[in-house]
Amino acid sequence: MSDGMEMMSNLHPFLPFLIAAILAAFTRGWLRSVIMLAAPVFGGYQVMQAVPGTLVYLQVLDLELTIYRVDELSLLFGYLFHLGAFICILFALHLKDTLQHVAGLLYAGSAIGAVFAGDLFTLFVFWELLGLTSAFLIWASRDERSFHAGLRYLLFQVLSGVLLLGGALWIWFSTGDITFNEIGLDSGASWLIFMAFGIKCGFPLLHNWITDSYPTSTPTGTVFLCAFTTKAAIYAMARGFPGTEILIYIGVFMACYPIFFAVIENDLRKVLAYSMINQLGFMVVGIGIGSALALNGAVGHAFNDVLFKGLLFMSMGAVLYVTGRTKASDLGGLYRSMPITTTLCIIGALTISAFPLFSSFVSKSMVMSALLEEGYWGVWMAMLFASAGVLEHAGIKIPYFAFFAHDAGIKAKEPPVNMLLAMGIAAILCVAIGVYPTMLYSILPYDAPYSPYDMTHVLTQMQLLAFAILGVVFLHRSGRYPDEIPSVNLDAEWFYRRMFPAIFRGVKVVINVSLELLGDAMRITLGYILDKLARHHGPNGILARTWPTGSMALWVMVLLGLYMILYYVK
């Protein structure tokens, strides 16, 4: 490789996004569009030219940072994030909002910087940039709801960063080494980092920043959000904690519990947010198993999730852009006026449901097969339930209530062409990877040959899907399926949005009452003391009286006599 080509391949892929963000802030129209699209194209070309084993260092005082490390795992996510950035930017080209364009570019670039970070301190820098830049995509809605949701979102992101920095500093002081490789759960520092990654993975009770903030972002902002933060966390968990068994059970809970909330949720973008946590559960389970097949399944599913989940978020974003609505109770009948969007949404729904010949089937089945190979039969059964639940709340509910349910009489049309193109690219890739899985398998980081299309896998999945569909039909026909009604549903966020504020208000009332009682007691006590002083020192007090001279002389003689007696007795 020539020196010029080597310099180009070693150029940090974050830089094209940084430069594009600066230029986008000062340009308009078609020029801005070209600059924005050029960032992932140029950055993606650089990553394709990168050679595994490449290391680029930066000396900061006495600390040597590995700001750019290339290996098979980081390359997979590098490809994914450049592809995701191109689709997200294309989907948002119709906007004239400088804030969203600049924030989106910096956000995507930060995710790319995180996956190529070779040390914990560099990872921390991009980790914090991820949280900060993405918050602006929530605030871009410019209303009170998104403002408060963005603050809550940023609180979780900052907490994750603080835990990561604390763990990194602890490891540095203990070992002097800050290289970001496998960490394991063998120290307090590793637990801090584990929880930092877990927050952004959407661990149970730490997941509500996803369901709270994603539905409040703009139609295009949510598409960016679904592509980067959680997938960067999956990358970090796969590198730092592969084979950590506790992740299997955390992942099972993540895959199962969102189903119940997604079924009763009325906001279709919030349904997709719950669905995202469900899919993250499959990835976390794969990382916890830790075998080559399971890790390939986890990171491969992350790759596919950006495509099919992005496609579903884009279709709901298109509906929101055209109609101003995303509530299931307010939608329906749009298939007549938005046939292309309907078709693309159905492709996304089939993909997330893991139908054969769609991309999710070829990655999710790797995790399921790994569970059986490692003897986790109980977990495998639970994940089958989670797979059936996906079909109900994402595979059926999303397209049905948005496009086919009761006709709401909404006058609509197809979204702008750039939106349709972005959705079309994602849909084509969902089908292409499903039909030709070698496209994905050839870039997976671990050596674990796998063939998804054998008779056992296909028949098992088709039976699961058939019974899941029958179950949904039965619930609908029997009237047992929850009605889609306007409502606000809280899960674990009830603790900090309802219980903690109620406790705070109660404590505040108790403190105020206590202070009032204490004030009253002090006033009464002070009044009593002043009254006593007035009785002795006031104008009519004992000490204010006029004493006769003779009496005073008598008392002086008595005291003097007592003094002399005591003196001689001594």
pLDDT at 404: 87
Where are the domains positioned within the chain?
A: 1-241, 242-482, 494-528
Local structure of 406: helix, strand or coil: coil
Alpha-carbon distance of 343 to 340, in angstroms, equals: 5
Q: What is the distance of C-alpha 357 from the center of its chain?
A: 30
53: left (phi over 0), alpha (psi -120 to 50) or beta: left
Residue 82: closest CA among 39, 19, 51: 39
Bridge partners of 327, per DSSP, are: 267
Give the Å distances, CA to CA, from 469 to 278, 389, 399, 473. Answer: 19, 10, 14, 6
Alpha-carbon distance of 312 to 341, in angstroms, equals: 10
Number of residues in the chain: 570
Rounded to 5°, the CA angle 472-473-477 comes to: 120
Rounded to 5°, the CA angle 451-454-457 comes to: 95
Residue 122: closest CA among 180, 171, 71, 177: 180
Rounded-to-10 torsion of CA 476, 404, 281, 232? -170
DSSP per-residue string spanning 297-357: HHHHHHHHHHHHHHHHHHHHHHHHHHHS--BGGG---TTTT-HHHHHHHHHHHHHHTT-TT
DSSP class of residue 497 equals I
- The residue type of 262 is A
pLDDT at 568: 66
pLDDT at 292: 94
Bridge partners of 68, per DSSP, are: 56
177: left (phi over 0), alpha (psi -120 to 50) or beta: beta
Alpha-carbon distance of 380 to 294, in angstroms, equals: 13
List CB contacts of 439: < 8 A, sequence separation 6 or more. Answer: 432, 433
Are the C-beta atoms of 107 and 134 separated by less than 8 Å?
yes
Local structure of 486: helix, strand or coil: coil
Burial class (CB in 10 A: 0-12, 13-18, 19+), 41: middle
Local structure of 180: helix, strand or coil: coil
Alpha-carbon distance of 527 to 530, in angstroms, equals: 5
**Joined tokens for residue 408:** 């709401």
pLDDT at 518: 83
Q: What are phi and psi of 219, to 5 degrees?
A: -55, -35
Residue 269: closest CA among 325, 334, 313, 318: 313
Local structure of 179: helix, strand or coil: strand
For residue 306, how many other CB atoms are within 10 A of its CB? 23
**Joined tokens for residue 131:** 């949280």
Burial class (CB in 10 A: 0-12, 13-18, 19+), 170: middle
Residue matched to tokens 């969902």 = 430
Alpha-carbon distance of 236 to 200, in angstroms, equals: 10
**Joined tokens for residue 446:** 């671990």
For residue 496, how many other CB atoms are within 10 A of its CB? 14
Residue 441: closest CA among 276, 255, 299, 248: 299
Are the C-beta atoms of 344 and 430 separated by less than 8 Å?
no
pLDDT at 540: 62
Are the C-beta atoms of 399 and 349 separated by less than 8 Å?
yes
Rounded-to-10 torsion of CA 68, 72, 73, 75? 60
Residue 310: closest CA among 491, 108, 45: 108
Burial class (CB in 10 A: 0-12, 13-18, 19+), 1: exposed
Q: What are phi and psi of 448, to 5 degrees?
A: -150, 85
pLDDT in tens, the chain (570 residues): 444 444 455 788 999 999 999 999 999 999 999 999 999 999 999 999 999 998 998 888 778 899 999 999 999 999 999 999 999 999 999 999 999 999 999 999 999 999 999 999 999 999 999 999 999 999 999 999 999 999 999 999 999 999 999 999 999 999 988 999 999 898 999 999 999 999 999 999 888 899 999 999 999 999 999 999 999 999 999 999 999 999 999 999 999 988 888 888 889 999 999 999 999 999 999 999 999 999 999 999 999 999 999 999 999 999 999 998 888 888 888 999 999 999 999 999 999 998 999 999 999 999 999 999 999 999 999 999 998 888 887 888 899 888 988 776 788 899 999 999 999 999 999 999 999 999 999 999 998 888 888 887 788 888 888 887 887 777 767 766 666 666 666 666 666 666 767 787 788 788 888 888 888 888 888 777 777 666 665 566 655 556 566 666 776 777 777 777 766 665
- The residue type of 73 is L
Maximum Cα interatomic distance, the chain, rounded to a whole number of Å? 126
Alpha-carbon distance of 164 to 127, in angstroms, equals: 9
Q: What is the distance of C-alpha 376 from the center of its chain?
A: 28
